[in-house]
Amino acid sequence: MTSVDLDEKIPNNVGLSSDRKLQRALERWQPLFLDWWREMGPVEHQNHEVYLRTAVSVGRDGWANFDFVKMPDYRWGIFLAEPEPDRTVGFGDRRGEPVWQEVPGELRSGLRRLIVVQGDTEPASVEQQRHLCRTAPSIYDLRNLFQINVEEARHLWAMVYLLHAYFGRDGRDEADMLLERHSGSPDNPRILGAFNEPTPDWLSFFFFTYFTDRDGKFQLASLAESGFDPLARTCQFMLKEEAYHMFVGAGGVGRVVQRTADLMRQHDTSDVSPHGGINVDTLQRYLNLHYSVSLDLFGAETSTNAANYYAAGLKGRYQESLREDDHRLHDAETSVPVMVGDTITERQVPSLTALNAILRDDYAADCQKGVERWNRILEEVGTSLTLPHTGFHRAVGVFAGAPITPEGTLVDRDRFEAQRHRWLPTAHDREYIASLMTGVSEPGRMAGWIAAPSAGIHQRPVDFEYVRS
């Protein structure tokens, strides 16, 4: 097990101290990063002690060390999963060759693009969430928000390390630009649409961490298969942190659902808003929005870029090694949705070009599991939540702009617009949710719209003072 040198200015397990040039480059970038954190990170609590998890080693145990730390003093570092001896490329035309420790020249620009796009999402979400600390429904939730924020910032470090270590001058320029683009900026926005939308309230935050962080999981998992070994090992370690972000989303939505069900039972009504709860139809509209926007992150169903990345061994499928096929896919076919006139149908295409659709389908199946858990709570009050049809409210791919209902029926545009208020958050929903967002600062107390979690963090009680001044 490689231990992490936490005494270094930049904690790492990549032997930074023996690479002076790289160390100097990263030490030049570090103050720029800290300026960014102070300007674009959480708007409050920067001087407060937060009970945070910090990586101290990457082995099976001990990579998570809990202690009180002020966020600007968090030890952001560079951690790669342990190397796998004699690892070979697992897919594509170079399957079976030893993995690459340097960037193959002909793959350089494609690989840099993949790293920049992934890297851009990490600080974007910190920017999107920076105001939420004013309205946390509990101290427990406030701490979880900050844990996610510092880890997304560490994911930025992970991508910046790759850019600095393997892409020379243009990598350093790209690393600087990751701090210059800002979520929602009219002049210099983040690269992907979903990362320019604000996260205005905690209900949006929980759906974002459930659906949009889960897109991150699937992108990272397919990059963790990469033949470029430093990228694969970087992403493997990031996935450990990412799992917690989705836990916060799944648990957060689950607690809202629980509170709603409790209020429905208590007051024998489906309209719990007079009692300070969030109605199931409002939850469904937020779910519809966040799911559809997250589906767009997978890109068009068919893509030659995705085919090229796969053939080159750069980006695999989710759980590539568990699949029973030739891992080259030259002869395989997959059916993808198409729109023919007024009907939604399917057609067979070469699997190589359908990799975005394949990843998106795996993602959808993973999303469904959480919905089923929430529905076990809602079952008792005779209602449920559902994932909308893949074609609903899409801006990317074959369904882009098509007026498709959540049930998957193509209707005329006027009818769609007339029903939009039933399917997507309305101004009234947003106003009501905003009215619930009053911060709760007493340890153990929860806002009225959300149930308490069943357990605290790292064996601490729920009413532990996770953030203290």
Closest distance to Fe ion from the beta carbon of 183 (Å): 14
Nearer to Fe ion, 152 or 174 (CB): 152
Closest distance to Fe ion from the beta carbon of 344 (Å): 32
CA dist 333 and 417 (Å) reads 36
Give the contact letters, 101-140, x = binds to Fe ion (CB under 5 A), - = no. ---------------------x------------------
Task: Give the torsion through C-alpha atoms of 402, 408, 413, 416, to 10 deg.
Answer: -130
Closest distance to Fe ion from the beta carbon of 95 (Å): 28
The DSSP line for 186-215 is: SSS--SSGGGGS---SHHHHHHIIIIIHHH
Q: Are 171 and 102 in contact (CB under 8 A)?
A: no
Query: Please, which of residues 84-103 interact with Fe ion by CB under 5 A?
Result: none
Nearer to Fe ion, 124 or 344 (CB): 124
- Residue 232 is classified by DSSP as H
- Main-chain dihedrals φ then ψ at residue 15, nearest 5 degrees: 65, 40
Closest distance to Fe ion from the beta carbon of 262 (Å): 29
- The helix/strand/coil state of 43 is coil
| Of 45-53, 84-92, 148-156, 330-338: span binding Fe ion (CB under 5 A) | 148-156
CA dist 28 and 331 (Å) reads 49
Nearer to Fe ion, 23 or 129 (CB): 129
Site size toward Fe ion, by CB under 5 A:
7
- Give the strand order in the sheet containing 467-468: 65-70, 49-54, 467-468
Closest distance to Fe ion from the beta carbon of 71 (Å): 16
Q: Quote the strand ranges of 110-182, DSSP E.
A: none
Nearer to Fe ion, 40 or 398 (CB): 40
CA dist 253 and 163 (Å) reads 36
Q: Are 449 and 458 in contact (CB under 8 A)?
A: no
Tokens representing residue 462 in the block = 């729920």
Closest distance to Fe ion from the beta carbon of 150 (Å): 11
Burial of 173: CB neighbours in 10 Å, binned 0-12, 13-18, 19+: exposed
Nearer to Fe ion, 216 or 397 (CB): 216
Nearer to Fe ion, 174 or 242 (CB): 242
Nearer to Fe ion, 112 or 155 (CB): 155
Nearer to Fe ion, 214 or 389 (CB): 214
Nearer to Fe ion, 154 or 259 (CB): 154
Q: Are 371 and 385 in contact (CB under 8 A)?
A: yes
CA dist 152 and 33 (Å) reads 13
CA dist 363 and 382 (Å) reads 27
Closest distance to Fe ion from the beta carbon of 275 (Å): 33
Closest distance to Fe ion from the beta carbon of 214 (Å): 9
Nearer to Fe ion, 209 or 282 (CB): 209
Closest distance to Fe ion from the beta carbon of 423 (Å): 27
Give the contact letters, 383-422, x = binds to Fe ion (CB under 5 A), - = no. ----------------------------------------
Residue 429 within binding range of Fe ion, rule CB under 5 A: no
- In the chain, how long is the greatest CA-to-CA distance? 68
Closest distance to Fe ion from the beta carbon of 142 (Å): 17
Which listed residue (181, 182, 245, 290) binds Fe ion by CB under 5 A? 245
Which listed residue (45, 112, 154, 155) binds Fe ion by CB under 5 A? 155
Closest distance to Fe ion from the beta carbon of 76 (Å): 13
Query: Please, which of residues 208-227 interact with Fe ion by CB under 5 A?
Result: 213, 216
Task: Give the torsion through C-alpha atoms of 92, 93, 97, 102, to 10 deg.
Answer: -80
Q: List Cα–Cα distances, 180 to 104, 110, 131, in angstroms.
A: 28, 22, 19
Closest distance to Fe ion from the beta carbon of 247 (Å): 11
- The helix/strand/coil state of 336 is strand
Q: Are 195 and 121 in contact (CB under 8 A)?
A: yes
Cα–Cα nearest to 203, from 285, 266, 261: 285
Tokens representing residue 194 in the block = 């979903």
Nearer to Fe ion, 229 or 241 (CB): 241
Cα–Cα nearest to 15, from 83, 111, 107: 83
| Of 57-65, 240-248, 366-374, 410-418: span binding Fe ion (CB under 5 A) | 240-248
Kindly give, in sequence order, each residue whose CB lies less than 8 Å from that of residue 18, ignoring residues fewer than 6 positions away.
Answer: none
Nearer to Fe ion, 37 or 416 (CB): 37
CA dist 444 and 139 (Å) reads 7
Using CB under 5 A as the criterion, which residues of the chain lie in contact with Fe ion when the complex forms? Answer: 122, 152, 155, 213, 216, 242, 245
